[in-house]
């Protein structure tokens, strides 16, 4: 988890920006070259109707290019900012795996051609 001090009265979008900046900076350990490659492309977005961490339905989108996840949270989850941070990092890793499995041979108007072969971990 990040070494930032998280306040419960913090705005959700500020928390999202802090998590995004931490991923961009490489402060989280990357498991492979794909994660390192896509770190600067990740966006963490507040999709809630409010900025308040005490709001009824908190929605956080994690996006890399055209792939995304949306996680929702209840305000009564213990250590909520930390849970959001961990989930955002897990979602980032999951999206990197999905991007690594894209079939780039079937290129139509709705997909992007992404070369991953050089990014896979050397085993």
pTM assigned to the model: 0.78
Question: Would you say residue 4 lies in a domain?
Answer: no
Please classify residue 49 by burial: count the beta carbons closer than 10 Å to its beta carbon, then call 0-12 exposed, 13-18 middle and 19+ buried.
Answer: exposed
Q: What is the CATH number of the domain that holds 54?
A: 3.30.160
Question: Would you say residue 114 lies in a domain?
Answer: no
Number of independent structural domains in the chain: 1
Pairing relationship of beta strands 67-73 and 42-46 according to DSSP bridges: unpaired
- pLDDT tens for 102-111 read 877 665 555 4
- pLDDT tens for 29-65 read 999 999 999 999 999 999 999 999 999 999 999 999 9
Task: For residue 53, give its domain range.
Answer: 12-101
Question: Would you say residue 85 lies in a domain?
Answer: yes
């Amino acid at each position: 988890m990040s070494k930032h001090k998280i306040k419960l009265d913090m705005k959700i979008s500020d928390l999202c920006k802090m998590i995004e900046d931490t991923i961009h900076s490489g402060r989280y350990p990357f498991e492979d070259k794909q994660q390192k490659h896509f770190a600067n492309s990740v966006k963490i977005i507040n999709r809630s109707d409010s900025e308040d961490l005490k709001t009824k339905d908190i929605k956080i989108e994690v996006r890399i290019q055209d792939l995304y996840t949306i996680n929702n949270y209840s305000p009564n989850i213990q250590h909520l900012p930390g849970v959001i941070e961990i989930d955002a990092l897990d979602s980032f890793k999951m999206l990197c795996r999905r991007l690594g499995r894209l079939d780039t041979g079937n290129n139509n108007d709705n997909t992007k051609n992404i070369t991953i072969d050089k990014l896979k971990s050397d085993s």
